[in-house]
Amino acid sequence: MAVDENLKIELGKQGIIVTSIQELYNWGRRSSVWPMQFGLACCAIEMIATTMARYDMARFGAEVFRPSPRQADMMIISGTVTKKMAPQVVRLYNQMAEPRYVIAMGACAISGGPFKQGYNVLKGIDRYIPVDVHIPGCPPRPEALLQALMTLQKKIDGQTLTGPDRPRHLDRDAQGEFPVPHQGEHDLEPTSNKGVWPVPITIK
């Protein structure tokens, strides 16, 4: 039973705030998204620059970068994910406590990027874990990372507490464990996680 937006604005002008539990919960969660200290390659340099003085990310609540996945809300995959590192990335994602979000920063994390032909490059981390925000760029500017954070905040704002489209962490039956790939003879096994990445159909 949400209050009409215009009524809210009018009441706000008079100094009366009307809110709901869902809004409060989402506001608390989006205003303090703590990232995990996780930088892989060049995009990590831009991520570090975003946390520093000029493009301060702490203003948005992403203040402390937690070294432990248990205390982090968000993982910024910044840099090329090699096939050797991929199992560790997926295991770290599994070890994060829910609610958890993933930002794929840069072309390499989205799809392999400029090193797509490499034998050891994983063609995008969204083969194994669900990604919430993708940032194109090589590397994306710190302002782009800030916009990604704001997009993530908007996404968190729109999440509901109950109902069929509630987020994964509120749903007991939603997938909580994403299988960790292991290095097989020629490639990672499995090459992608079912349900996370739709395998493209080759049309000959």
Task: Provide the binding-site residues for other proteins, judged by CB under 8 A.
Answer: 68-70, 87-89, 91-92, 94-98, 161-162, 169-170, 172, 174, 176-177, 180
CB 53 within 8 A of CB 22: no
Q: Kindly give the pairing relationship between strand 188-189 and strand 182-183.
A: antiparallel
Q: For other proteins, which is the closer residue by CB, 54 or 172?
A: 172
Q: How far is the CB of 54 from other proteins (least distance, A)?
A: 30
Q: How far is the CB of 45 from other proteins (least distance, A)?
A: 20
Nearest to other proteins of 89, 152 (CB atom): 89
Which SS3 state, helix, strand or coil, does residue 100 take?
coil
Instruction: Give the distance, in angstroms, between the CA of residue 110 and the centroid of all CA atoms in the same chain.
Output: 12
**Cβ distance to other proteins smaller for residue 114 or 176:** 176
Q: How far apart are CA 143 and CA 50, in angstroms?
A: 8
- Smallest distance from other proteins to CB 169, Å: 7
- 76 backbone dihedrals φ, ψ, rounded to 5°: -95, 105
Q: Which residue shows structure tokens 């007991």? A: 172
Nearest approach, Cβ of residue 100 and other proteins (Å): 10
Residue among 49 and 92 whose Cβ is closer to other proteins: 92
CA–CA distances in Å: residue 82 to residues 31, 77, 88, 120: 32, 12, 10, 6
